[in-house]
Amino acid sequence: MDKRPIGIFDSGLGGLSAVKAVFNCLPNEDIIYFGDTQRVPYGSRSEKTIEAFARDDIAFLEQFNCKLIMAACGTVSSVAVNATSKIKEPFVGVVKPSCEAAVKATKNKKIGVMATAASINSGAYDREIARLDPEAKVTGVSCPVLVTLVENNWIDEDNYISKEIISRYLQPLLDNGADTIILGCTHFPHLAPIIQSVVGDGVTLIDSGYEAVMQAKKLLDENGLANDESHMGTAKYYVSDRTQNFSGIAQTLLGTDISDSVTFKELAE
Ligand code: DGL
């Protein structure tokens, strides 16, 4: 048992899909979350900028003596490979676990990927799926507007504007017959009910935040790092812009009021 916290970061609210999975599947673990809300979105930036942002996020979390660091961000996991490969702690990103889950789930070997432009352009999902199953066909679509929908809390199932935007993004994946879709940006699981209503029950959605947490669980268990039931997990959140914006939407996403646990932390000069 190792009582140090798990460090989780994302550009903003997206990584809360991983936090939710920690609450459900690793309830004895403490979390330090960092959301770089000042600089969101990451997904439309250059590789150089994403690498630099990722280095800052990692350096911030490394101060907390974490037992594991998770990039709950598809963009960082896909693009900032230099920064993440230098992490000293055990590290989990979202690309590998979500591709593994998709390859396992697909029956027709047609996999769709919804992610940010940077993630799609990096080819990280295509490479990982090709490595796992060379016969699988991948269709990727970059969906930058969906990040904005989540950051503005336009996630309710009845929101017909969100539904229309999602339908347009999904069309190429449906045209190509994907039976499995990776929500490769951690913001997107927050839109899963709308996405599922557009694609129908026959299509499996892969929640990249959840899959990353499943891999973290495995890593903690295999290395004797997991907390036992005597410890009740806690969560502290740090954000690089107004805490109120984050807490308000986080309450909807997590179903709990976290405002007392959110602290402002400026990273950028
Ligand atoms: N949640 C992030 C991802 O998984 C980033 C979205 C963004 O900042 O563009 O890619």
The predicted-structure confidence for 9-24, as pLDDT tens digits, reads as follows 999 999 999 999 999 9
Q: Note the pLDDT of residue 245.
A: 86
Catalytic site residue 99? no
Q: 25 an active-site residue?
A: no
pLDDT at 268: 60
pLDDT band at 266 (very low <50, low <70, confident <90, very high): confident
CA distance 139 to 159: 26
CA of 150 to the centre of ligand 1 (A): 11
Environment class of residue 92 by beta-carbon count within 10 Å: exposed (0-12), middle (13-18) or buried (19+)? buried
Q: Check whether 151 has a pLDDT greater than 80.
A: yes
What pLDDT band is residue 143 in, cutting at 50, 70 and 90? Answer: very high
Q: Tell me: the pLDDT tens digits for 28-60?
A: 999 999 999 999 999 999 999 999 999 999 999
Is residue 167 packed enough to be buried (19+ CB in 10 Å), middle (13-18) or exposed (0-12)? middle
Per-residue pLDDT band for 267 (boundaries 50, 70, 90) equals confident
Distance (Å) from CA 41 to ligand 1 centroid: 6
Question: Which three-class secondary structure state does DSSP give residue 86?
Answer: coil
Sequential DSSP letters for 98-160: HHHHHHHH-SSSEEEEEE-HHHHHHTHHHHHHHHH-TT-EEEEEE-HHHHHHHHTT---TT-H
Which residues, 6 or more positions from 261, have their beta carbon under 8 angstroms from its beta carbon?
A: 234, 235, 236, 237
Please say if the pLDDT value at position 269 is more than 90. no
Nearest CA to ligand 1 atom 2: 73
| Band of pLDDT at residue 244, cut at 50, 70 and 90 | confident
| pTM metric for this prediction | 0.96
